[in-house]
Amino acid sequence: MIEYRDIHKAYDTPVLSGVSLKVEPGECLSIVGPSGTGKSVLLKTTNGLLRPDRGEVFIEGEPVFNSGRRTLEKIRRKVGYVFQYAALFDSMTVYENVCQGLPDGDARHRHSPEVLRRVCEALEAVNLEPAHILNVLPAELSGGMRKRVGLARAIVGRPRIVLYDEPVTGLDPVNSAVVSLLITDIQEQMKVTSIVVTHDIEQALGISQRIALLEHGKLRFVGTPEEFKQSQDPVVQAFANRQAATAVALKIMEE
Ligand SMILES: Nc1ncnc2c1ncn2[C@@H]1O[C@H](COP(=O)(O)OP(=O)(O)OP(=O)(O)O)[C@@H](O)[C@H]1O
Ligand SMILES: [Mg+2]
């Protein structure tokens, strides 16, 4: 469904140094890794928001970068994106924000009953009551609701793939569990393939069929949650449990 082939990207220093990974149809794959290791950068290459220096991404076999504008538009329609920090437009209502997730052509018909219906459907799918929320500005919402509006925006175009960048960061445990349940719901009900970038390892273990650990621009580990928990690699262990993380932290402080 998604293939990253030898992705390289550098800014001042190398960020991604040869990432190759395949995500199967219907799968939910989580990406974990230290801050600043290129998780968001990798995610943004998926639908062409960011061009790698080398390598190619394939969506259902079609290259994202080595293709015409038409193909890229078609690919973008297949991909919903939940941005880090929710990234809603403060001056737009919830309705207008969710409309942003529609392909350009459809978004132009913002006042049509069909668009209204789809926006309402998307909000209901993330447990938000359209009647209460459509005309509200993001500033009036709680953090958990904002994240869910971000989810609604990502699914309103009925994508085949949904990319989540830190969907639960900054949420309390209950709201975080709600978002995790919604991600699984969306995966199962809408039959989407999902990639979830997260710092919440419990979430990753709970919702995904496979976990990838990105470190120093390379994939250090790819495997099932069970394999992740059993891994003997100290870096994986540092993510899998707090004790191991403390041991690694102490070593760094000693150096
Ligand atoms: N537009 C940019 N210009 C320059 N450097 C950038 C740009 N975008 C990302 N970087 C750098 O690339 C590196 C990886 O960034 P990225 O946002 O992908 O990290 P991340 O793994 O998502 O981190 P976090 O977990 O904190 O979100 C960072 O060092 C960042 O400073
Ligand atoms: Mg990030």
CA-nearest residue, atom 26 of ligand 1? 35
The rounded distance, in Å, linking the Cα atoms of 183 and 197 is 12
pLDDT in tens, 138-178: 999 998 999 999 999 999 999 999 999 999 988 888 989 99
Cα separations in angstroms, 98 against 25, 89, 137: 25, 10, 12
- Closest atom, ligand 1, to C-alpha of 41: 18
Domain containing 244: what range?
224-255
* Cα 69 → chain centroid: 23
**One-letter identity of residue 139:** A
23 and 148 part of one domain: yes
158 and 235 part of one domain: no
Task: Please give the mean pLDDT across all residues of the chain.
Answer: 92
- Find the CATH number of the domain harbouring 146: 3.40.50.300
158 and 33 part of one domain: yes
φ, ψ (nearest 5 deg) of residue 116: -55, -45
- Averaged pLDDT for residues 218-226: 96
Instruction: Write down how long the chain is.
Output: 255
CA angle (118 as vertex; 68, 61 as ends), nearest 5: 30
pLDDT in tens, 172-198: 889 899 999 999 999 999 999 999 999
Q: Facing residues of 19 across strands?
A: 7
For residue 5 the two structure tokens come to: 């082939």
130 and 229 part of one domain: no
| pLDDT score at 248 | 75
246 and 184 part of one domain: no
Ligand 1 pocket test, pick from 9, 11, 35 with the greatest ligand atom count within 8 Å of Cβ, gives: 11
For residue 181 the two structure tokens come to: 């349940």
The rounded distance, in Å, linking the Cα atoms of 137 and 164 is 22
230 and 218 part of one domain: no
pLDDT in tens, 53-100: 999 999 999 999 988 888 888 999 999 999 887 789 999 999 999 999
Q: Domain total for the chain?
A: 2
CA-nearest residue, atom 27 of ligand 1? 35
3-state DSSP assignment of residue 200: coil
188 and 238 part of one domain: no
Ligand 1 pocket test, pick from 13, 32, 40, 50 with the greatest ligand atom count within 8 Å of Cβ, gives: 40
59 and 150 part of one domain: yes
32 and 84 part of one domain: yes
196 and 234 part of one domain: no
135 and 240 part of one domain: no
| Ligand 2 center from residue 43 Cα (angstroms) | 9
Asked whether 143 and 170 are in contact (CB, 8 A), the reply is yes
Q: pLDDT class for 107, splitting at 50, 70, 90?
A: low
